[in-house]
Amino acid sequence: MEKFVTHVGTGVPLRRSNVDTDQIIPAVYLKRVTRSGFEDGLFAAWRSDPDFVLNQPEFKNGTVLVAGADFGTGSSREHAVWALQNYGFKVVISSRFADIFRGNSQKGGLLTILLSQSEVEDLWVAIEANPALAITVNLAAKTVSYADQSIAFEIDDYVRWRLMEGLDDIGLTLENSDSIDAFEAKRSAHKPKTLPIRA
Amino acid sequence: MGKTLAEKIWQEHVVRAKEGEPDLIYIDLHLIHEVTSPQAFDGLRLSNRKVRRPDLTIATEDHNVPTQNINLPIADPVSKLQVDTLRANCAEFGVRIHSLGDAEQGIVHVVGPQLGLTQPGLTIVCGDSHTSTHGAFGALAFGIGTSEVEHVLATQTLPLQRPKTMAINVNGKLKPGVTSKDIILAIIAKIGTGGGQGYVIEYRGQAIRELSMEARMTVCNMSIEAGARAGLIAPDETTFAYIKGKPHAPEDFDAAVSYWKTLYTDADAKYDVEVDLDADELEPFVTWGTNPGQGIFLNGSVPNPAEIADAEERGAAERALVYMGLTAGQPMKSVAIDTVFLGSCTNGRIEDLRAAAEILKGKKISTSLRMLVVPGSARVRLQAEAEGLDKVFIDSGAEWRNAGCSMCLGMNPDQLKPEERSASTSNRNFEGRQGKGGRTHLVSPLVAAATALRGTLSSPADL
């Protein structure tokens, strides 16, 4: 995973709440067996509408998606994170994220930032007034800045450290494989096993 | 102070806890399917890692398998590649798989319980958000992303933040014709699609205790639609009786039961939040919008967005009505349906098929619609055929299909066309969920069957 420390980019105002993962990437686009190439499916249904925000030339190259509440609800598909990243997004800002989506984003290095709904709305207004507005996300300082604004955000320290170091979770866990061995040694015998197959 | 059920299960699975870090939680059962696993297996190969516990892992094919002509090769080459990739990965890493054509193939959340692998007190994960289904047995079960699938394959653990706990007390008794699907749709409408975010929900109360095991699975299944990663119900005699005799039921059943009986929320435990719902007041429920929280009694009318105070919700309702092609004030029962879908991990079990067949028996479905009946697993299909339910469906004019996720998410050829409208026993009414431009109304199997007969959204009481 790439390290995430700071990012400077332009914003895309997505004035919708309850953006579920079926909207982020519909199921028919989930058939690839790789982690790349999902940008085609990103917001596929909405992109067929010429008025959709990503079809506006001034927002085409945005890297900071600013969305309404309850972003990423529904299906656990990590393809939603990959589609956003494959398209070029580095950061998503919302006033509330679905749990599984947020967890997935943190595994893959897509930074999800929680701001209040009024801070989101201020950001929408600012981006719409000036689509070229530079937005600076500083994970080290835990701030989102634009124009003369600097907004602090909260993020779990452990998650922040992992993102800033670009660390692989599996590698971190395997450093503790002794504790896993010890746990398994005292696991109850009546817990089910899938093998051998019983009919 | 006592502990809640979720806290007890959590505590029993902590491999490692350290201040300032997520707890490392042991996973007892890992379910796998073709869509969210290929990149995880790829990751193992790239890092030269093995599957740590193939004996706690099981795979099946469900999301994009066809439900017709399953003896032929899968027609869509991209779907075929994904299914073939799962088969090759399972062979390479020694993982048990139930493929198309096998009696145990089916939707992953139907397969686990029917094999007796889903048991109280376990931690269960799957790269699918409806893993919450297994919580009905008093297990802590939740959906994960593909990176986490890889993590569990490699380590049999997950680093997780401890969730908060929410009790939903469903007091009183359900009226006839009202089902567990109506309970959960009413809960989601009450607390909203984000209401359970950050919580594990425990469903409690008389109406929950009186539900069958399969009806409990319907409730827990849709916890995710209320924003909760997991939902569970304390195990009881109903749970034990359901597991008994299943292929993977514990050999020393009595010993297991005595442990399972310790799995309840202590009387002096405290939840972070409690919500009450009165079962006596519930009626058949239906969604009118494009998220599962946009629901109303079937006897009601399409809400008027102008009467919604919250600006954000009002805007969402306005957009939903345009997408759904509905007008404010229109009675829900006047809405004409093109396709009835009976199936999915929410309502594709034998009891769901029996309940619908009971209504359809000896009658013909409306000529203005089609009805797809898709059993949740090949085992459910065989059971239904042994009971003659297939004939009831076929004689009524419905299509009797093979097992899979099918039209719940329209990854296989079972899809709605643009502006086509369904009454669906599945779990999500998102825009385009059942096919681009398709319009979904979520309903119970009873409402689905009554709707199939009348052509418009209906309850059995209307027949």
pLDDT for B133-153, tens place per residue? 999 999 999 999 999 999 999
B428 with A22: Cβ contact below 8 A: yes
Average pLDDT score over residue span B439-462: 98
DSSP letter at B330? -
Average pLDDT score over residue span A125-133: 98
Residue from A75, A28, A45, A27 nearest B427 by CA? A75
DSSP letter at B140? E
Sort strands A6-9 and A11-14 into parallel, antiparallel or unpaired.
Answer: unpaired
pLDDT for B37-73, tens place per residue? 999 999 999 999 999 999 999 999 999 999 999 999 9
A57-72 burial: b if 16+ Cβ within 10 Å, else e = eebeebbbbbbbbbbb
pLDDT for B374-430, tens place per residue? 999 999 999 999 999 999 999 999 999 999 999 999 999 999 999 999 999 999 999
Length of chain B: 463
Residue A17 with chain B: CB contacts under 8 Å? 312-313, 315-316
Min distance A154 CA to chain B CA atoms (Å): 15
B96 with A197: Cβ contact below 8 A: yes
The CA-based diameter of chain B, rounded to the nearest angstrom, is: 64
Confidence band of A1 (pLDDT split at 50, 70, 90): confident
**Window A:107-146, CB contacts with B under 8 Å:** 107-108, 117
SS3 B125: strand
Min distance A103 CA to chain B CA atoms (Å): 8
Residue B54 with chain A: CB contacts under 8 Å? 194-195
Contacts of B433 (CB under 8 A, 6+ apart): A22, A27, B408, B409, B410, B440
CA distance B432 to A115: 29
DSSP letter at B416? P
A22 with B49: Cβ contact below 8 A: no
Sort strands B421-424 and B439-442 into parallel, antiparallel or unpaired.
Answer: parallel
CA distance B195 to B168: 12
- The answer to whether residues B138 and B233 touch, using CB atoms and an 8 Å cutoff, is yes
Cα distances from B41 to residues A196, B51, B136, B156, in angstroms, run 22, 9, 29, 14
SS3 B454: helix
DSSP letter at B207? H
Give me the residue from A30, A157, A183 closest to B15, CB to CB: A183
B151 with A96: Cβ contact below 8 A: no
Considering chain B, what percentage of its residues have pLDDT values greater than 70? 100
A33 with B145: Cβ contact below 8 A: no
User: What average pLDDT is seen over chain B?
Assistant: 97
Q: Does A186 touch chain B (CB under 8 A)?
A: no
Taking the CA of residue B144 as centre, how many other CA atoms within 13 Å lie in the half-sphere pointing to its CB? 27
Average pLDDT score over residue span B262-288: 98
A188 with B64: Cβ contact below 8 A: no
Average pLDDT score over residue span B205-227: 98
Residue from B40, B292, B14, B303 nearest A20 by CA? B292
B432 with A45: Cβ contact below 8 A: yes
Q: Is it the case that residue A2 has pLDDT exceeding 90?
A: no
Considering chain B, what percentage of its residues have pLDDT values greater than 90? 99
Element at B170 (helix H, strand E): strand B164-171
Average pLDDT score over residue span A33-42: 95
CA distance B458 to B445: 11
- Looking at this predicted complex, what is its ipTM? 0.95
Q: Is it the case that residue B1 has pLDDT exceeding 90?
A: no
Contacts of A100 (CB under 8 A, 6+ apart): A72, A76, B129, B142, B143, B144, B145, B224, B229
Element at B126 (helix H, strand E): strand B123-126
Residue B76 with chain A: CB contacts under 8 Å? 31
Average pLDDT score over residue span A86-108: 96
CA distance B55 to A196: 7
Q: Which two tokens stand for residue B332?
A: 């829900």
pLDDT for A39-53, tens place per residue? 999 999 999 999 999
A192 with B26: Cβ contact below 8 A: no
Min distance B402 CA to chain A CA atoms (Å): 20
B154 with A98: Cβ contact below 8 A: no
Q: Is it the case that residue B272 has pLDDT exceeding 90?
A: yes
pLDDT at A199: 86
Give me the residue from B36, B157, B159 closest to A78, CB to CB: B36
Min distance B335 CA to chain A CA atoms (Å): 24
As to burial, measured by CB atoms within 10 angstroms (0-12 exposed, 13-18 middle, 19+ buried), residue B460 is: middle
B227 with A99: Cβ contact below 8 A: yes
SS3 B1: coil
Q: Does A81 touch chain B (CB under 8 A)?
A: yes
A23 with B122: Cβ contact below 8 A: no
Q: Is it the case that residue B312 has pLDDT exceeding 90?
A: no
- In SS3 terms, chain A reads as CCCCCEEEECEEEECCCCCEHHHHCCHHHCCCCCCCCHHHHCCHHHHCCCCCHHHCHHHCCCCEEEECCCECECCCCCHHHHHHHHHCCCEEEECCECHHHHHHHHHHCCEEEECCHHHHHHHHHHHHHCCCCCEEEECCCCEEEECCEEEECCCCHHHHHHHHHCCCHHHHHHCCHHHHHHHHHCCCCCCCCCCCCCC
Give how far the C-alpha of residue A199 lies from the chain's centroid of Cα atoms, to the nearest Å. 42
CA distance B461 to B222: 25
Average pLDDT score over residue span A170-177: 93
DSSP letter at B296? E
DSSP letter at B301? B
B176 cis-preceded (ω within 30 degrees of 0): no
**Structure pTM?**
0.97
What end-to-end distance do the CA atoms of chain B give, in Å?
52
pLDDT at B342: 98
Which residues lie across from B342 on neighbouring strands?
A: B373
Q: How many CB pairs under 8 A join A and B?
A: 205
pLDDT at A168: 85
Give how far the C-alpha of residue B146 lies from the chain's centroid of Cα atoms, to the nearest Å. 19
Contacts of B150 (CB under 8 A, 6+ apart): A170, B39, B40, B41, B43, B44
- The answer to whether residues A48 and A170 touch, using CB atoms and an 8 Å cutoff, is no
Min distance A148 CA to chain B CA atoms (Å): 27
Q: Is it the case that residue B287 has pLDDT exceeding 90?
A: yes
Considering chain A, what percentage of its residues have pLDDT values greater than 70? 100
Which residues lie across from A7 on neighbouring strands?
A: A137
Min distance A153 CA to chain B CA atoms (Å): 18
pLDDT for B155-170, tens place per residue? 999 999 999 999 999 9
